[in-house]
Amino acid sequence: TGGGPVFINLIHDIDLLRYLCGEIVQVQALQSNAWRRNEVEETSVAIVRFESGALGTVSVSDHVVAPWSWELTAKENPSYHPTGQFCYLIGGSHGSLELPANRVWRNRDKRSWLEPVEAQTSAADDKDPLVSQIEHFCKVIAGEAMPLVSGLEGLKTLRVIDTMKRSAENGGAAVEISHQQG
């Protein structure tokens, strides 16, 4: 069978979550192919537990019309019409992050629900990230640079995706993830 949106799309989101939030150590996932009835999922949702104890949710579907995909929000590729929306929200006890706007929300003076929340936005690099990736890849091939991400990091993300699939196949049971080498 071919790949569904978990292996094709969500894998990149998991990569980013691991980079920003740390290792994912447990997953509970559900998936559905109820609309098209293909062999692969068209929608999947998961609750993830990070090594720090933080919890997160992720969802993916290639069957909905929505303005929140990376392609429609990041303005990286002129083929896509930007929506001005976000695609990632990461909340924390000292602030929250909105991507791809690079906007951090936090209390100005002290942490309190009664205090105003303010946003600070960091400027993004204007260089085309796809061009940057190809340039770096060429430097790696020429022996002029090391890869920015190791094969081990890719394997860890693949383990998370594989665990999501196993959890969904078992009715959403919580599944622990071991990132031990070997």
The CA distance from 62 to 19, in Å, is 24
The CA distance from 104 to 8, in Å, is 29
Q: By mean pLDDT, which of 48-62, 108-122, 129-143 is the weakest? A: 108-122
Q: Phi then psi for 178, rounded to 5 degrees?
A: -105, 125
Over pLDDT 90: what percentage of the chain?
74
Q: What is the fold, at CATH topology level, of the domain defined by 5-176?
A: Dihydrodipicolinate Reductase; domain 2 (3.30.360)
Alpha-helix runs per DSSP H in the chain: 5, 11-21, 70-73, 129-141, 151-169
Selected residue with higher pLDDT from 29 and 109: 29
Domains of the chain: which residue ranges?
Answer: 5-176
pTM comes to 0.88
25-53 tens-digit pLDDT: 999 999 999 888 888 889 999 999 999 99
Q: What is the pLDDT of residue 181?
A: 59
Looking at the DSSP bridge assignments, the partners of residue 60 are 44
- Cα-Cα-Cα-Cα dihedral sign, residues 180, 4, 27, 17: positive
Q: What is the pLDDT of residue 32?
A: 93
